[in-house]
Chain A
Amino acid sequence: MRIKVHVNGEWKTADVWPGTSLLFVLREHFGLAGAKNACEQGECGSCSVWLDGTLVCACLVLAAQAHEREVRTVESLAGEDRLHPVQEAFLASGAVQCGFCTPGLVVAVADLLAHHPSPDEAEVREALSGNLCRCTGYAKILDAVRLASARTRGGSR
């Protein structure tokens, strides 16, 4: 079947098998490999993207469900020559190790801070409880959220 998706500001089309996930289409048809394939059953959050502005696991969305809808991925966050404040905070805080969970976490944190600019720690933990990281033990991810939150609110980079 043929689908048409508005991805990161651009209409893209693909011819897919009906069982194809949005994750597969993004990665294999549209060349957007930022959303990762760690569990492909909605447990790890590595494939987090926005579907019409709502945070979803792309592995749990059928490609067909994204037909004529808007998808934003991690690739949409950085500008030409500057990183998104969340990306910058992940680097500064040492929240990146192997980096496989990172794009999903960056998207989830950006989503959290967009809705809730100064979450307390319990709120951060709850918001990120669907994103698994095997390397960091999450401490530096919490640091990164605090830093991104402070910098976003302070209006500085």
Chain B
Amino acid sequence: MSLRTVPRTLAGVGESVRRIDGVPKVKGAFSFGSDLWAEGMLWGHTVRSPHPHARIRSIDVSQALATSGVRAVLVAGDVPGRKTFGLEFADQPVLASDRVRYAGEPVAILAAVDPETARRAAARIAVDYEVLPAVTDMARALAPAAPRVHEFGNVLRHIRIVHGNPEASVDVWVEGYYETGMQDQAMLGPEAGMAIPAEDGGVDLYVATQWLHADRQQVAPCLALPHEKVRLHLAGVGGAFGAREDVSMHIHACLLALRTRRPVRMVYGREESFFGHVHRHPSRIWMRHGAARDGTLVCVRARILVDGGAYASSSSAVIGNASTFAAGPYEVPNALIEGTCVYTNNPPCGAMRGFGAVQVCVGYEAQMDKLARALGQDPVELRRRNALASGSVLVTGQVLQGSAPVREVMARCAALPMPADDRRATGDCLRYPGGAGNVSRGEALRRGIGFAVGWKNIAYSEGFDDASEAVVRLVGAPSGVRAEVYTAAAEVGQGIHTLLAQIVRTELGVETVVVHPPDTGVGSAGSSSASRQTMMSGGAVQLACVGVREGLFARARRHLEGEGVPLRGELRIEAGWIHAGSAPVAPIERFLGEPIEATRVYHHRPTTPLDATGRGDPHVAFAFAAQRAVVDVDTELGLVRVVQIATAQDVGRALNPQGVFGQIEGGTAQGLGLALMEEVRLEEGIIKNASFTDYLIPTILDMPPVEATLVEEPEPGVPFGAKGVGEPSTVVSTAAIVAALRHATGRQLNRVPIRPDDLIGLAPPVATSGPPPAPEVPGPAPIPKYHGLAAGQQEIMGS
């Protein structure tokens, strides 16, 4: 990738600045992970288990190895270092040795001169499996007799949050059971990268990822190489949404490159991509909400079960989020919330946009509507009455310190104009649910309106110090002054690099900012996850700019005062000049004979883990969003048209408004997908719809207009008061759409995605015999931790 230079005159914080990577992207010249090419490169290929649970008796690679054009075939025994990896716990084999735990688990890898040769050779690898009984149902995983996914059992983490008196008496109880399906991130760019062996015995890996340093921390030990010999560089990232938090082809490509001494490119096809990354956890949620007659929430009881699949990934943090967000953005004095994540022989689940907050929002918002009905109250008014505000106490005992304009987002959303009822006026069948697929004349159309509020944490939680480092360098050159930014923050499409350039322009007043491609040559920036990079890397860049400015002013003082020029008043930079008070004193390039550089690390405020009763101060900050969905349902055909989404989002301060609206619209689309169409369908642990033909994501025909408005109440103590904006819309939109569908049909609709059969009553609501038993566990920490499997990302910051 080349350097990106942005000459601009203004384009600072608060402006809708064009993307700095926009021109190559519209020209098709931007280099994504799957576009990488090197002279003499080989193509890597992965052989995966067809069984959800099996013992490997033997693997015979001799025929594959003898195939013309094949340069290497590797199995578990060829891994020179640590045999396992994992984001939080190293429980996942690089290549399965004796046992496979999910269908799709890698068992062998090979490198060949072209992809067709690789594919054919892979088919000649003979793996002898002894199929074992599998546990593919999350509730059954808790049964004593269930097959064990790992030696230490099937519980990945169990959290119990006790707040106030969960036995408190209430006037009205409402109960509900809800399920959410497994969602795929479906980023359009597949997993891809290229490993190039280096002369020092190390390796350079160019890869599309969300966090270079966490990848390196997992890759290097498996290669038996010191960290400094494993250099990671960000390749162009074709969307992420959580799917690239985990290692996919990284270690495999490096192993093949080191073995063959040739560059090795690995690119997953779409089908393989469904097996090659984690998904959003499917969930089963039981909730009881108790309120006083006047509508004041008195008690929330919830039991949440999520399926972590075969390996831990980031599951422990996902169930942490699901549990701590389960009461919704409402004040409740009494609560008992029990969250359990189990291991099963399903494909692993992990991070996806919304990260545990999505699933519970489907539950708590349905409960709030039920409660409003039971009390005969307006559902928006009921929410307003109970809304969190700054100073509120959360179920963990955490006192909400930052900005929390919950009532404001609700009021602003509710006040947005309603769409016209154009169902029959146009006579255009494309406006009927189902579009061209609708065979009716719209006789059975019913319109529904739903309202939901959601919340999400910003940055990592539960004591994690996910700091970010940035280097800013101010350089004088004949062509003018420029600022250079070095950061490992992954640009995944969200626009962080554009934003960092805006921050530099605002802080240093220079027009030209060069954001260097991220690599592990600088310190960790943390992950492009959890809506955190605006705050964290934005904060690091801002601090580094302050450092540069201080260096510049010190130099200017030395020079000017040495020349006898007195400097009165505070120094500042304006339009390329240093000003003292209101007087311009000298252009900054006068003092840039040598560049000025500053390296700074930004830490968010410390948080704490949960204790045995779920008490703690786990979250850094919160962002809120309200959405109102208007839908038309054809109640005979079971087809839906989402007519409009109106939304107000709490953004702290919009640093690039166009980018903020883009995040809200895109996040809403993913929530709409979960509400109406998106589910990875499993049968006995095997994915049945691993393609874009069978796994549907919203098209331009599915998306309604999104009328968005921003609530700007700056978050105290964070750079520019800005909150991350990527996730709240995804958290809330599924719940809002489902509420609208319930309103239109009068049906229970307690499982997403909602299918046509659910809407016309052909399928009954999902039922349960009751909450699962609470497992006996040593404490609230993830179970692998008690077994010494910790390989925490947290170490990155300490190392």
- Which chain A residues have a beta carbon within 8 Å of chain B's beta carbons? 17, 19, 27-28, 31-41, 43-44, 46, 73-75, 77-78, 83, 87-88, 90-92, 94, 96-103, 106, 122, 124-126, 128-142
- A75 B28 Cβ-Cβ under 8 A: yes
* A98 CA / B665 CA spacing, docked (Å): 14
- Which chain B residues have a beta carbon within 8 Å of chain A's beta carbons? 16, 18-19, 21-23, 25-32, 34-35, 37, 114, 116, 185-190, 236-241, 267, 269-270, 428, 430, 492-495, 658-659, 661-662, 665-670, 691-693, 697-701, 703, 705-706
Q: Which 8 interchain pairs have the tightest Cβ spacing?
A: A34-B28, A98-B493, A99-B25, A100-B238, A137-B665, A137-B669, A103-B28, A74-B28
- A102 B25 Cβ-Cβ under 8 A: yes
- A33 B699 Cβ-Cβ under 8 A: no
The distance from the CB of B265 to the nearest CB of chain A, in whole angstroms, is 10
The contact of A136 among B29, B114, B662, by CB within 8 Å, is: B662
- B700 A125 Cβ-Cβ under 8 A: yes
The distance from the CB of A92 to the nearest CB of chain B, in whole angstroms, is 7
Q: Which residues of B contact A34 (CB under 8 A)?
A: 27-29
Q: Given known contacts A94-B662, A137-B698, A142-B700, what 18 new A-B pairs fall within 8 Å (CB)?
A: A17-B116, A34-B29, A38-B189, A39-B270, A39-B692, A46-B188, A87-B26, A98-B238, A99-B26, A99-B236, A100-B32, A100-B187, A100-B239, A102-B28, A106-B28, A134-B697, A140-B661, A141-B700
- A98 B237 Cβ-Cβ under 8 A: yes
- A94 B691 Cβ-Cβ under 8 A: no
* A78 CA / B30 CA spacing, docked (Å): 14
The distance from the CB of B710 to the nearest CB of chain A, in whole angstroms, is 15
- B26 A132 Cβ-Cβ under 8 A: no
Residue of B nearest to A131 (CB): B700
Residue of A nearest to B27 (CB): A78
* A100 CA / B35 CA spacing, docked (Å): 11
The contact of B27 among A83, A92, A122, by CB within 8 Å, is: A83
| Cross-chain pairs A/B with CB under 8 angstroms, 16 sampled | A32-B28, A33-B35, A36-B188, A39-B691, A43-B692, A43-B693, A98-B189, A98-B240, A99-B25, A101-B188, A106-B26, A126-B430, A128-B700, A133-B700, A134-B669, A137-B662
Q: Which of A33, A100, A101 has the most CB of B within 10 A?
A: A100
* A32 CA / B37 CA spacing, docked (Å): 11
- B493 A135 Cβ-Cβ under 8 A: yes
Known contacts A40-B269, A129-B699: does B26 contact A90 (CB below 8 Å)? Answer: yes
- A36 B269 Cβ-Cβ under 8 A: no
The distance from the CB of A77 to the nearest CB of chain B, in whole angstroms, is 7
Residue of B nearest to A91 (CB): B22
The contact of B692 among A35, A44, A128, by CB within 8 Å, is: A44
The distance from the CB of B751 to the nearest CB of chain A, in whole angstroms, is 24
Known contacts A27-B35, A97-B494: does B187 contact A134 (CB below 8 Å)? Answer: yes
Q: Which of B236, B494, B661, B703 has the most CB of A within 10 A?
A: B703
The contact of A38 among B23, B185, B190, by CB within 8 Å, is: B190
Q: Which residues of B contact A32 (CB under 8 A)?
A: 28
Known contacts A83-B23, A94-B662, A129-B701: does B270 contact A138 (CB below 8 Å)? Answer: no
Q: Which residues of A contact B241 (CB under 8 A)?
A: 134
Residue of A nearest to B25 (CB): A99
Q: Which residues of B contact A134 (CB under 8 A)?
A: 185-188, 239, 241, 666, 669-670, 697
The contact of B26 among A19, A91, A137, by CB within 8 Å, is: A91
* A125 CA / B430 CA spacing, docked (Å): 10
Q: Which residues of A contact B493 (CB under 8 A)?
A: 97-100, 135
* A73 CA / B697 CA spacing, docked (Å): 26
The contact of A41 among B25, B187, B270, by CB within 8 Å, is: B270
Q: Which residues of A contact B22 (CB under 8 A)?
A: 90-91, 96, 99
* A10 CA / B492 CA spacing, docked (Å): 34
The distance from the CB of B708 to the nearest CB of chain A, in whole angstroms, is 9
Q: Which residues of B contact A91 (CB under 8 A)?
A: 18-19, 22-23, 26
* A75 CA / B692 CA spacing, docked (Å): 26
* A12 CA / B445 CA spacing, docked (Å): 55
* A64 CA / B661 CA spacing, docked (Å): 44
- A37 B34 Cβ-Cβ under 8 A: yes
Q: Which residues of A contact B37 (CB under 8 A)?
A: 28, 31, 33
Q: Which residues of A contact B30 (CB under 8 A)?
A: 99
Q: Which residues of B contact A133 (CB under 8 A)?
A: 188, 700
* A101 CA / B28 CA spacing, docked (Å): 10
Known contacts A100-B32, A135-B493: does B26 contact A83 (CB below 8 Å)? Answer: yes
The contact of A96 among B19, B668, B701, by CB within 8 Å, is: B19
Residue of B nearest to A127 (CB): B700
The distance from the CB of A32 to the nearest CB of chain B, in whole angstroms, is 8
Q: Which of A37, A46, A134 has the most CB of B within 10 A?
A: A134
Residue of A nearest to B672 (CB): A137
Q: Which residues of A contact B21 (CB under 8 A)?
A: 99
* A91 CA / B21 CA spacing, docked (Å): 10
* A44 CA / B666 CA spacing, docked (Å): 17
The distance from the CB of A113 to the nearest CB of chain B, in whole angstroms, is 15
Q: Which residues of A contact B269 (CB under 8 A)?
A: 37, 40
The distance from the CB of A79 to the nearest CB of chain B, in whole angstroms, is 11
Q: Which residues of A contact B29 (CB under 8 A)?
A: 34, 75
* A103 CA / B28 CA spacing, docked (Å): 5
Known contacts A40-B270, A77-B27, A137-B703: does B188 contact A98 (CB below 8 Å)? Answer: yes
* A46 CA / B692 CA spacing, docked (Å): 12
- A139 B706 Cβ-Cβ under 8 A: yes
Q: Which of A77, A98, A139, A142 has the most CB of B within 10 A?
A: A98
* A45 CA / B239 CA spacing, docked (Å): 16
Q: Which residues of B contact A131 (CB under 8 A)?
A: 700
- A38 B658 Cβ-Cβ under 8 A: no
Q: Which residues of B contact A140 (CB under 8 A)?
A: 658, 661-662, 665
